[in-house]
Amino acid sequence: MASLPKVGLNVVPVPSSLLVRFARLAEDMGFESLWSGEHVCLPANEDWWRGYPTVTATAARGEPVDPSLVPFTPHSPFHEPLIVLSHLAAVTSRVRLGVGIYLLALRDAVLVGRALASLDVLSGGRIDLGVGLGWSPEEYAYTGNDWHKRGRKLDETILALRALFEQDEPEFHGEFYDFPKIGFQPKPVQRPFPIHVGGFTPAAERRAARLGNGWYGGPAHIPSVKAQLAEQGRADEPFTFGMIEPRGMIERDELLRLADQGVDRVVTTVWPQTLEPSADDPDAPLRELEAYARRIGLV
């Protein structure tokens, strides 16, 4: 049996009042990384949940579906992920800091590149970026982006970021970005800057193998991604297979089974829903985190 994979924590449900203490305790307990994530602006209508991948997969099997299949609502609090990671970078020193999934196609490459490079420098090279397309056409419409061009824009944004981060005087000419040689400093500490691609489709697998440094999705996709990497001539390059479980904690036996399937990093969720601490016992959620670290053998 494989050894325990790297274990990260999903910080999206962590209350703002506990976030700093949660991050410091996670670092002390030996967790490898802390991951934020996002939705920018989900529609607040009755059918907002029907495009969620778990819902569509369940419906395709002929099974009943309802909103409880989605571990959040349009009104769940989502802080801007790069701001969250900047906040956590200032109060930690070792734990890695990731975004998964970041809706990169909603952003401008030069502007988000400036933010990412700054964050990587100020954190001492601790940033991981997990990108994907998302599943809500409304988020594209509400931010002035074209849902039908989302795949092409994501690909080009990744390529533009590579140019910004790796060329001394970046230059890029494409469908969505067109700039001559420009000054762009600072560069990220990490070379290459780690971009992990997530998704549920063959297109996402191909994108990860072509443009990414890692996969951020279910283990069932690993064999296909590895085959795609071999086709790209990248089979021997460093590549991280990661996944997130937003519904709860993954215990030690399951972590070991996932490692046997080739998963390098598992991002787990201590609290599936935002849990405000009780006034009578404000430290109870932190004790739960410490108990989990002990159960899986980090401490």
Token pair 């970005």 in the structure block, residue? 177
- pTM of the model as a whole: 0.94
* Exposure class string for 42-73: b at 16+ Cβ within 10 A, else e: beeeeebbeebbbbeeeeeeeeebeeebbbbe
The answer, yes or no, to whether residue 64 has pLDDT greater than 80, is yes
- Write the secondary structure of 178-240 as one string of H (helix), E (strand) and C (coil): EECCCCCCCCCCCCCCCEEECCCCHHHHHHHHHHCCEEECCHHHHHHHHHHHHHCCCCCCCCE
The answer, yes or no, to whether residue 275 has pLDDT greater than 60, is no
- Residue extents of the structural domains in the chain: 6-40+78-296
Inter-residue contact 126 to 166 (CB < 8 Å): no
pLDDT in tens, 73-87: 999 999 999 999 999
Amino acid at 254: E
**Angle at which helices 222-231 and 202-211 cross, to 10°:** 50
Within 10 Å of residue 293's Cβ, how many Cβ atoms? 20
pLDDT in tens, 250-264: 999 999 999 999 999
The DSSP element (H or E) to which 34 belongs, if any, is strand 33-36
Average pLDDT in the chain: 94
Q: Which CATH architecture has domain 6-40+78-296?
A: Alpha-Beta Barrel (3.20)
pLDDT in tens, 110-124: 999 999 999 999 999
pLDDT (0 to 100) of residue 279: 64
